[in-house]
Amino acid sequence: MSESYDVAILGAGPGGYVAALRAAQLGASVALVEKERVGGTCLNIGCIPTKALTTATNLLVEARRGADFGLVIPEARPDLPALMAYKQGTVDNLVGGVKRLLEERGVALVRGAGRLSAPDTLQVTDREGRAARVSARQVILAPGSVTARPPIPGLDLPGVMTSTEALTIADVPEHLIVVGGGVIGLEFASIYEALGSRVTILEMMPTLLPGLIGQRFAKRLAITLHRRGMTIQTGAAVRRIEAAGAGLRVVFEGRRGEEAVEGERVLIAVGRWPNTENLGLEEVGVEMDGRAVAVDERLQTSVPNVWAIGDAVGGPMFAHKAMVDGRVAAENALGGERTVDYRATPNVIFTRPEVAGVGLTQDEAREQGFVVKVTKFPFSATPKAQILGQTEGLIQLVCEEESGRVLGVHMMGPHVTDLIAEGALAVQMGLTADDLAWTTHAHPTLPEAMLEAALGFRDATIHITRKDRRLR
């Protein structure tokens, strides 16, 4: 069987399905090839189910604090089967919504594993082994990424999990060892800690969240997690995993030489790799950049009618980045002249407290030659944060000293994964601290901390005491 379209897209994750919807909006006939459920890793085994678990466990933590708000709440405890049903119901609702959008836009969903057999042809094999060809004038590659599997002996032992297995919680381990202090590892650490696990985090790099937030914020987060009872070992290179009675022993090289820690389960969360193997890329002349597909600023590959987006092209592996890539590639495949701009791509980490950032850290700005002024405001001086009883953290602006232009915004505290949107707009539009300071922010709300941080550029912060200044 062979069908021909204007645009064929390989992969129905956030980048792929958004590219399909945008191309269909522009009047193109579109085929979307996917071997699993639409929504890809993000909707099915990534962003959405983890945030559902994060939301539920945060509510559990808040319920246990009922007395702080003058409330009498009976003992709050997790109901794991109900929690799993809530998580899966959320996923199924969103996946169903994406399918309806594709159907309404007339996108043909082709089920099966696809690979390029020619620059204008995808060879698709379904689960029964039946083959079909999908031809198109333009092809967009959106294969996503796969869980990184480091060469650590013992990865196949019972009780060793990837993030996929960690989403299904039949019981709560007494002690969870997390290998990897990046986004995935820290978010699962927060989930399991809220459910009652003792958590140990082993990170090979000197700080948590390497390459994502500045060292100062990483150290603040580590201190906060440690106060909650988590054990954090940075500079810890895992050598092997061994069976230890009914549990597991993780052996690592630390600051004091070889050390070991024992627990019931081990989560391997060391990142993700572009999913570019066995796609026929080299055979049709698509140039690679290591594991990633090499693209230009328009997301065009070395083959003129082939485009690539999202995790497959490397860089930040965020669903929101992939969605923008999908729109850019779809428009360019149909004659547009869009270019990608990742300067204002926010990092959001759903730990407790949350962490978010966009643009340059102060160290990065100085390395690029900027003379900067850094201004901060603590949530402890923010009325809404006090009302919530969540006063840990702060908002930091990195500004060009002479002009006040906002180069970066970095946050730790309540709901900062939402608050970072204002920072992203400021970086994207080249706004100044004065622009933010003279924008009226509603009271009492958490964004007032952004207003006060912006006022600090002119040393005009209003709602702060000497004690609060020391906390900065």
Helices (H), 134-268: 163-166, 183-195, 215-227
- Count of CB atoms situated within 10 Å of the CB of 20: 33
175, 226, 320, 443: the active-site residue: 443
Backbone angles phi, psi at 469, to 5 degrees: -60, -40
Nearest to 309 by CA among 56, 40, 51: 40
Nearest to 233 by CA among 269, 179, 197: 179
Tell me whether residue 443 is one of the annotated catalytic residues. yes
Give me the amino acid identity at 70: G
DSSP code, position 331: H
Burial class (CB in 10 A: 0-12, 13-18, 19+), 411: buried
Distance CA 446, CA 44 (A): 31
Burial class (CB in 10 A: 0-12, 13-18, 19+), 364: middle
Give me the amino acid identity at 365: A
CB 185 within 8 A of CB 298: no
- Show Cβ contacts of residue 192 under 8 Å, excluding neighbours closer than 6 positions: 166, 172, 173, 176, 199
Classify 154 in phi/psi space as left (phi over 0), alpha (psi -120 to 50) or beta.
left
Distance CA 251, CA 80 (A): 31
Catalytic residues: 443
